[in-house]
Amino acid sequence: MLAGMAPASLSAAPFAAFVMDARTGQPIYTQNADTRLHPASLTKMMTLYMAFTAIERGQVRLDSRFTVSSNAAAEPPSKLGLRAGQQIELRYLLRAAAIKSANDAATTIGEGLAGSEAAFGQQMTAMARALGMRNTQFRNAHGLTQEGHYSTAQDMSILGRRLFYDFPQYYNLFSRRSADAGIAQVSSTNKRFLDGYAGADGIKTGYTRAAGFNLTASAQRGNKRLIATVFGGTSTAQRNQVMGQLLDAGFSRVPNRVREQRPAPPQMLAQKVVRRAQVAPKPVATQPQRLVLQSSEAPARVTRPAAAASTAAVATRDALADAMRQAQTAPLSGSALRLASSARPRLRPGAAPAAVEAAVQQAVAAAPATQPAPATARSASLAAPVLAASSRPAPAPRSRAAPGRGSTAAIAATADGQADAIAQAVAEAGAAPQDGDSLSLLASPAPKRRSETVILAAMGEGDISNPAALEVVSRGPDSGRKWGVVLGRYRSQAEAETLLLRVALQDGAVLEGAGRSVADTRRGFEARFVNLSKADANLTCERMMARSQTCQVTGP
């Protein structure tokens, strides 16, 4: 029935058409829908989609200022009239590209986002593949005829549906009849169709001599929404007429109520390249070499002391050793207890026993007669014989193996004769003659001569085996982000969008990367966040319910 709607004579370009139910994405009418044709300014739909994506990702803002290049300023009409070197905010460039279809504004957007128009074309093509546009390839941001720049009616309808669902907060830009573009007030190139067809709210027109008159349109009637694309119209009026007929026929065929199937987030493929390093071998790594050190000299011999001093030191050491052996082998007599680490103390030189006794008696006499004498005074006469028979202890050699070391009360059983023998031997050894009262280190053998040869073997510089093949791993960055949250239904779309924006600003860390959308349902406009992980969706709802806000988690 719809096949007869195509014009009889199409001298400008081949005709193609595609109509889909926007709620489900299911096709309603197709004619040459997969034929690759010139899209003309319908290309700017992808330019705007890329700009909206960059804004949502935080790469740019609406008030970011883009610099106009000489290439952008030289683009042919339709144009905004930008000058090379001029800076203009992104919001004005979006309005000029979407409403007036300005080529200089579209080129400035592409160069500002990707650095060059060619690089932006590659990014546009990659995004088209992620959106499911299988027969589309872009070479520029404006859509002027260029070799290798093509698309189809079906792919452009897919892109139009994506603009509606992925960026509802910006979609109203396509229904404006005029707007302020910063340096001028611009009017819509789609004004005739928007005014002439009831329910139309977008999207984009396009024209070149090679493409003909193109249009991607969206319209709503009640619960029904259709998106359609026409390529190859012979004039603006004829193109709008055919589009109206296609939409009328489509609205009559689609059911009033269907289960809405939103498009899944674009699956951008990220490549992970794994490389293994390879270093070419060198001779030093494969053959041992002999290296002789030249920077150090042989150690000098230690100067020995005079022979007399060495002889005296050796004699002193031998005398001490002999005395200790003789003392240890002497027979024990009696059961007297002596300190294990010292011999019997001798009298201090020049001190008489009578002086000690006199000091003790003087201390006793100084005590008052009326008070009883303390215990220390009463025992002074008993201690006098011991004090008289003792002198300052001589230093004794310390030994780690001595019993009771570290305790002042440690004592050991040893004989008086053994103690006296040790003391006498120590005195005799200490009286041995020394040359200049100096001691030297005992003679020790000279250290062995250090080797001056170092063997360097197998000093490799890396893995010299055959490198492994390049491994490319592809993954979807949104894997697992199939969840969403519903924040309730509201009377107007503006109220729902305001709520989504406020929540996004409050919970930016959790909702980073999430998409905002407003669905028109029978019970009102439903505010949703999509493209969330399960954990982020649950966390968002917990926070919302803590603020007494209705929230429901939706799964894949």
* DSSP conformation class of 144: -
Name the catalytic one among 41, 151, 157, 517.
41
**513: buried, middle or exposed (CB in 10 Å: 19+, 13-18, 0-12)?**
middle
CA-closest candidate to residue 16, choices 313, 176, 338, 232: 232
CA distance 462 to 233: 65
112 half-sphere exposure, CB direction, 13 A CA radius: 31
Contact 245, 193 (CB under 8 A): no
Catalytic residue at 44?
Answer: yes
44, 79, 100, 204: the active-site residue:
44
Whether 35 and 152 have beta carbons less than 8 Å apart is answered as yes
Instruction: Spell out where 209-267 has E strands.
Output: 212-221, 224-233
The three-state (H, E, C) secondary structure of 39-52, written as one string: CHHHHHHHHHHHHH
CB count, 10 Å around CB of 456?
12
Q: Cite the beta strand spans of 364-459 per DSSP E.
A: 412-413, 453-456
Note if 333 is an active site residue: no
The span from the CA of 529 to the CA of 540, in Å, is 10
- State whether residue 82 is helix, strand or coil: coil
Phi-psi bin for 280: left (phi > 0), alpha (psi -120 to 50), beta? beta
Under a CB-based contact definition with an 8 Å cutoff, are residues 203 and 214 in contact? no
Task: Tell me the three state secondary structure of residue 497.
Answer: helix
Q: Which of 479, 429, 434, 419 lies closest to 322, judged by CA?
A: 429
Between CA 387 and CA 380 the distance in angstroms is: 10
Catalytic residue among 69, 79, 100, 101: 101
**Alpha helix locations (H) across 25-175?**
43-56, 70-73, 90-95, 103-114, 117-131, 153-166, 168-171
Task: Extract the tokens encoding 307.
Answer: 């022979």
Would residue 191 show up in a list of annotated catalytic residues for this protein? no
Residues forming the active site? 41, 44, 101
